[in-house]
Amino acid sequence: DAGVIQSPRHEVTEMGQEVTLRCKPISGHDYLFWYRQTMMRGLELLIYFNNNVPIDDSGMPEDRFSAKMPNASFSTLKIQPSEPRDSAVYFCASSFLSSGSEAFFGQGTRLTVV
């Protein structure tokens, strides 16, 4: 398996534009997580899915953020409209089993909103 795959690796967009980040988890994993990393706030959990169902979105900062997982091999995180304070590295991670196990991270998407 190629691991967790995220696209794009880098995204530069203008304030007000819609941004869509994409993630392909490791095949067979039943949990998928979206994290945001900034210098000020560290690694924040935004939302996670179990078997494609959103379980906890309490970390999603605002209604401008939304996430979907239409099937077991694909998830998106959308920001609409984007703002400069959304600039961060967004990581997708996946894991298997529900009793505590390794989370495998993608390479991240570095988002810059100007």
DSSP 62: S
Strand order in the sheet with 74-79: 5-7, 19-24, 74-79, 65-71
Q: Which two tokens stand for residue 78?
A: 């959308």
Residue from the set 1, 14, 18, 102 that interacts with another protein by CB under 8 A:
102
Closest CA to 49 of 41, 60, 62: 60
Q: In the complex with another protein, which residue's Cβ is closer, 71 or 98?
A: 98
Judged by CB under 8 A, the chain residues 49 through 88 that form the site for another protein are 50, 55-56
User: Per rule CB under 8 A, is residue 106 in the interface with another protein?
Assistant: yes
Binding residues (CB under 8 A) for another protein: these are: 31, 33, 35, 42-43, 45, 48, 50, 55-56, 91, 95, 97-103, 105-108
